[in-house]
Every structure is written in structure tokens, then in C-alpha cells.
Amino acid sequence: MGPKTNRNTQVLLARRPQGAPTEKDFRIVETPMPETRPGTVLVQNLYLSLDPYMRGRMNDAKSYIPPIEIEAVMGGGTVGKVIRSDIADMPEGAIVEGLLGWQAFAVAKPKALRIVDPTLAPISTALGILGMPGLTAYFGLLDLGKPEPGDTVVVSAASGAVGSIVGQIAKRQGCRTVGVVGTEEKARYILDTLGYDVAINYQTTDNLRTAIRDAAPDGVNVYFDNVGGPVTDAVFNNLALRARIVICGQISLYNASRQEMGPRNLTQILMTRSRIEGFIVFDYLDRYPEGLKDLSTWLANGEITYKEDIVDGLQNAPRTFIGLLEGKNFGKQLIKIAEA
Amino acid sequence: MGPKTNRNTQVLLARRPQGAPTEKDFRIVETPMPETRPGTVLVQNLYLSLDPYMRGRMNDAKSYIPPIEIEAVMGGGTVGKVIRSDIADMPEGAIVEGLLGWQAFAVAKPKALRIVDPTLAPISTALGILGMPGLTAYFGLLDLGKPEPGDTVVVSAASGAVGSIVGQIAKRQGCRTVGVVGTEEKARYILDTLGYDVAINYQTTDNLRTAIRDAAPDGVNVYFDNVGGPVTDAVFNNLALRARIVICGQISLYNASRQEMGPRNLTQILMTRSRIEGFIVFDYLDRYPEGLKDLSTWLANGEITYKEDIVDGLQNAPRTFIGLLEGKNFGKQLIKIAEA
């Protein structure tokens, strides 16, 4: 097996965005097919994951992963097929997940890749419910949120790749779940399909603080935060005693070109003796198998479900990513690069 | 033994302050001496503790302790002498600590009082290093801050009743200690007497963020926050990985008549996977003996020390409390109500 072309397609970071990214911040280029070296495999990427954290990497700022250099390939999670290999454990035809970036083909060392079992679930789920977003929901909620039966769990971006799974796991734990979303369609989806008890559309709600209070009259025990900003302010005004707040994302702030201001609310944390904790799934690398085992079982049992928002064509990655940051996706955002 | 007067003096809450309290928010009244009932003792208060948390109780707002009613006696910790008792375990002459409020005399049930051993240390310390502030420092730092040897521990209001003890315990744990204070005199004191490694005077420092960075080049591992506001913002910009932030007080915000605004900084918590936790010492009631045992031992050994700011006369309590909220005290703020 080998590539049918001798050209690669890559999406580069052309320049650092000022505020919200535009298509001009990216450049799509044709480059020579990468060459394998001994001990590496050539992978044809089939799906690319688009995730909010990528916005941070476009800035030249210290973070938990280094910034993407100008003119470098945009980084990101991929699922692909091994099309050239002399490695017995990772033969041609194997489906692999890795961080191969916004490109059609890539060479990688086997240890940087995880073999995906295509009989378990559609291979795209290795970037979603059975991948980084699923594991983020799993460890973030269970390890830091520590939901107890009867707790009220509020999730922002509740229909998103992570939030949709958080809500379902919380429900499975016997919690009352409140999801915050940005469209009526998403509100319906989280109620009807994900089993959320309450949906709040932050775009049409006059008073978020009151809406959260009405949805959580005894206070919020667990808040799984993907967005930050005014939604988070409203939750902080409605915390139960010893609430656990998992800071998983702050997407509402990622496009800010200077630090945004908001109400100082640590007094609320003090009064309620609540705990806020930052969460990044990479810290749980050695526990991924545990999480994937549970998530796979629950998915196979029909206890949890997922939704994907798949856009065809790598050339559409920039505009799709821009939309993701505006909440335009509905479900886990993926780019389909090639047919499996 | 009995009172030499048949009159009590009380400081009442006259009205709810708008912003910073003024003396007109209080009223000092002469009232009849309270009458003991069976099973109660009459206490002559000798020292009154003034503490920042009292500001919150002057508002009509939900909190962890109810607001003080208008025309009610201001609440607060006291040390006094039992002057009328028919209770064997708490005889006349016993020194007792309790929450008897801003008044010269009070009747109380023995179970609401703690007997203080006057041979252990000056009885006023039952309101400071061997009382609520000491226990706040002890449990807040050790239980939530979890300082490890070599950690950099930053303390705001570092010369205050709580902060002065936090710094000394952290030093005892093998940490590098950085104190933030508001005068040069306090800066000298925390360096020379409390053993802080660095003192930052927030009143004269041009750039707090840079000052914290210079003081903690490897990042802040533990932040014990008594003040909130810009000092806290500066620390949040300099967190080490997995920092522990203990929110013990937010005195810089207590006089705000509406919610103050500040930079949204949860992204920093996310990036560093830090933990913020609210702390109130009352949650540790059943562990007070453990804390008092250690604090007494360390005090007796000369491992920790303390400083008191004692103002004579209950009539001076309002203006002294107003000054406390402005950081005018230097050491644990006490009112001496009567000679021991």
C-alpha cells in the first residue's frame, strides 16, 4: 500500500491572530510527501479533530504546550491509516490515533501513535467520546468534580464534545444535570438525547444568575466549566456549600486580545468553601486505559451516546475552526480528510 | 465576686454601612447589667477581638454566619473573666474565651465558652495566636495549602493576625516565604521578626506582578490570600504548576458597595492546574485541640511569635475597626475592655 499521490497538503499557521482568528491567519500548502525513516511509519490522516485549546497554541504565549511557530503545521489530533510501515506491531492498514496535525499525511514513530480498534466503534470516535474529549469529561468530572448522587451538576458548553459526555456521566452517577448551551436546537438535544434535566440557552436568557438559581434551587454542587465568562459568573453566584468547580476550558476568553474583566468572585468561593481546580487531560496519560475501558463499555451498553459535526475537506479546517470558537459546531467538531 | 457596676456598655449596629463603615454606623449604649439564669455564668469581657470578617456581618447578605440585626450588639470574639457562677466546672475567676460580642458584660452558657489557661500565655492570645487567627493560619496553611519543603509560599496581609502566623508556620515547614504588606514598618517586621524571606510593600511597588515574579522566580506554590484584589491578581500571574491557593479573606473587597471588577484569571488556574479553595476555620471545630496543642508548643519553644495591637476602651472599638479595614493595625487588633 502506498499513497496515490506524491504530494502532501498542510495547513500552516501564517500569522498570529489578533483576537478572533480569520482565514488569513492560516495558509494551505502543497508539499512533498514526507519520507519515512527506519523506525517510522507513514500515516494517511482520515479525520482531524478541531478543539478550542488550539486557539491558545496560535498565540506566542507560555502555556502548557508550546506555541505553534509561524509557518509550522497547525497541531491537532488525528485518526489515520498506516500506509507505509516495516514495523510488525503497526502494519500497513492499521488505524492509528495521534497528534499528527492539520495535514493529509505524516510520518511518525509508533510510540507516538495509539492503535484504534475499528470494530469497537467508528474510528472517528477515537478523537471524541473514545479519545481526548471523552477522557477529559471522564477524569475531569469524576476525579475533580467528585459528583455524588443527588448533586446538581452544571455544565457549560453542554452539547459540546466534552460537555455532552460530562452530562451523561453525571446522570449515570445519579446527579441532577443542568446544561448551558447557545441555541434552542442544542437545548432540545441535551434534554431529549443526553438526558439533561434542565437546559439554559445563554443567548436568550435575560438573567443567567436567576436562571441558574431556578435550575439549582439548592445550589450548584459541581460546575464543569468549558467556557468561563458570564456563564461562570452566574454559577459562582449560586454555589452550594463545598462546591467543586472544574476549569476545563475558558473558550469565551480565548479570542480576547487583552485580558477580559469580570466581577471579582473569590468571596463567593470563601463563603461556600468551594474548590476551583484547573484540569488538563494530559496529566492523566497513565490512566487513559482505565477511562477508555469505562467509556467503551458505557458506549457499547448504550448508556452514553455522542454526536459528531463532520466537515469534509482539509481546506475547510480554518473556517470550521473559526466557527468552533464561535460555538457554531453542534457536537464534536471533526474534519474528514479522506475516505477510510 | 460581682460587677462593680450595675450597668453594661454595648456597641450596637446602628445601621448598615454603605461602603466603608463610619462611626455613625455604630451606637454605644449603656444598658442594665444582664441577669444570669440557672445554668449560665456572667462574664466580664476583658479583651475584644476585631476581625475583618465582621464587616460581612454588617451587611444584610446571606453568608456563612447570619447578618447582625440593626440595633443588635456587634458580634465578636472575647476573652473575659467569670464573675458570677454556680457552675463547678466554670467557677468565678475562670478566664474564658467565647463569642460574647462588643460589650463589657455578657451572660453565657458554659458550653459556649472555652476555659483559657492564663499560665500558658497572656490571656489575650486566646483571641490571636492561640485562638481563631492562629487556628485559621494552622489549618488553612497545612490542610489546604499543603506546603512542601522548598515551596514558595506567598502570604497577603503578611503581618496581620493570620498572615504573621502563616508565614512562620510555612518557614518552619522549610518553605521560602514572601509576604505582602502595606507599610515599610510592616515589611521590616516580617523580615526581621517573622523570618520572611521577601517582603513586598504593595503601596510602594510599581508593578506587583513583576515584584511577585522576582520574589518567586520558579512560581508560587502556595498562596495564602487574606486580601484579594490586585495583590491576588499579581500572584495568579505567577503560579507554579499545581499551586494551592487558600482563600481565607478578601479584605480589599469587604467595603465595596457593589461587586468589584478584576481581570478574569481562571485560564491561569487551568494552565497551571492550580487549586483555589475557600477556607473558614469554623469547619475545623473538632480539630481545634490538635491545632492549639501545636501552636502552644511552638509558642512555648520560641519557634513562633506574635504581635498585638491593643487599643484601650470599648468606646474606641468602632474607629479601631474602621482602621483595621484600612490596614491601619499592626499585629492582631484587640480592644482592651477592662483590666484583667
Give residue-wise pLDDT tens across range B18-67. Answer: 999 999 999 999 999 999 999 999 999 999 999 999 999 999 987 777 89
pLDDT at A11: 98
Of A250, A271, A273, Cβ closest to residue B270: A250
Residues 72..111 of B with a Cβ closer than 8 Å to A: which?
Answer: none
pLDDT at B312: 98
Question: Based on C-alpha coordinates, what's the Rg of chain A?
Answer: 20
Residues 60..79 of B with a Cβ closer than 8 Å to A: which?
Answer: 63-64
Q: How far is residue A276's CA from residue B266's CA, in Å, rounded to a whole number?
A: 9
pLDDT at A1: 57
User: Do A113 and A136 meet the contact criterion of CB atoms below 8 Å apart?
Assistant: no
Residue A2 — very low, low, confident or very high, per pLDDT cuts 50/70/90?
A: low
Instruction: Name the more confident of B324 and A61.
Output: B324
Mean pLDDT, all residues of chain A: 96
Query: Which is nearest to A20 in space by CA: A196, A253, A285, A211?
Result: A253
pLDDT, tens digit, 9 for 90 and up, residues B243-283: 999 999 999 998 888 889 999 999 999 999 999 999 999 99
CA A195 to chain centre: 20
Average pLDDT over residues A147-176: 98
Q: Could B247 and A266 be called an inter-chain contact, meaning their C-beta atoms sit closer than 8 Å?
A: yes
Q: Could A277 and B276 be called an inter-chain contact, meaning their C-beta atoms sit closer than 8 Å?
A: yes
The verdict on domain A7-127+308-336 having CATH code 1.10.150.120 is no
Answer whether A218 touches B (CB < 8 Å): no
Burial environment of residue A157 by CB neighbours within 10 A (0 to 12, 13 to 18, 19 or more): buried
Is the confidence at residue B2, as pLDDT, over 70? Answer: no
Long-range Cβ contacts of A202-207 (<8 Å, 24+ apart) = A202/A230, A202/A231
Answer whether B269 touches A (CB < 8 Å): yes
Answer whether A250 touches B (CB < 8 Å): yes
pLDDT at B63: 73
**DSSP-derived pairing of the beta strands B41-49 and A105-108:** unpaired
Is the confidence at residue B172, as pLDDT, over 80? Answer: yes
Size of interface A-B (CB pairs under 8 A): 108
Q: Which amino acid is at A95?
A: I
Is the confidence at residue B208, as pLDDT, over 70? Answer: yes
Q: Structurally, what CATH architecture does the domain formed by B132-282 represent?
A: 3-Layer(aba) Sandwich (3.40)
CATH of B7-128+307-336, one of 3.90.1150.10, 2.40.30.200, 3.40.50.1220, 3.90.180.10: 3.90.180.10
Nearest-Cα distance to chain A for B158, in Å, is 19
Is the confidence at residue B77, as pLDDT, over 80? Answer: yes
H-type alpha helices, B88-162: 132-139
**Structure-derived torsion over alpha carbons of residues B202, B204, B210, B214, reported in degrees to the nearest 10:** -90
Residue A257 — very low, low, confident or very high, per pLDDT cuts 50/70/90?
A: confident
CB-CB neighbors (< 8 A) of A213 in chain B = none
Q: Could A259 and B259 be called an inter-chain contact, meaning their C-beta atoms sit closer than 8 Å?
A: no
Of B229, B266, B273, Cβ closest to residue A264: B229
End-to-end, the C-alpha distance of chain B in Å comes to 14
Query: Which of A59, A209, A267 is the best residue to mutate to test the B interface, defined by the most B CB atoms within 10 Å of its own CB?
Result: A267
- DSSP track, B38-69: TT-EEEEEEEEE--TTHHHHTSSS--SSPPPP
ipTM of the complex: 0.93
Is the confidence at residue B4, as pLDDT, over 80? Answer: no
Burial letters B40-52, b for 16+ CB under 10 A, else e = bbbbbbbbbbbbb
Q: Which three cell numbers stand for residue A297?
A: 463499555
Answer whether A257 touches B (CB < 8 Å): no
Which segment of A58-62, A217-221, B288-292 scores lowest on mean pLDDT? Answer: A58-62
Q: Could A270 and B248 be called an inter-chain contact, meaning their C-beta atoms sit closer than 8 Å?
A: yes
Answer whether B255 touches A (CB < 8 Å): no
Which segment of A247-261, B14-28, B39-53, B169-183 scores lowest on mean pLDDT? Answer: A247-261
Nearest-Cα distance to chain B for A88, in Å, is 38
pLDDT, tens digit, 9 for 90 and up, residues A188-215: 999 999 999 999 999 999 999 999 999 9
Is the confidence at residue A64, as pLDDT, over 80? Answer: no
Domain boundaries, chain A: 7-127+308-336, 132-282
User: Do B244 and B263 meet the contact criterion of CB atoms below 8 Å apart?
Assistant: no
Mean pLDDT, all residues of chain B: 96
pLDDT at A309: 97
Beta-bridge mates of residue B107: B42
Q: Which three cell numbers stand for residue B110?
A: 458554659
Residue B191 — very low, low, confident or very high, per pLDDT cuts 50/70/90?
A: very high
pLDDT at A109: 97
Query: Which is nearest to A150 in space by CA: A240, A225, A85, A84?
Result: A240
User: Do B224 and B248 meet the contact criterion of CB atoms below 8 Å apart?
Assistant: yes
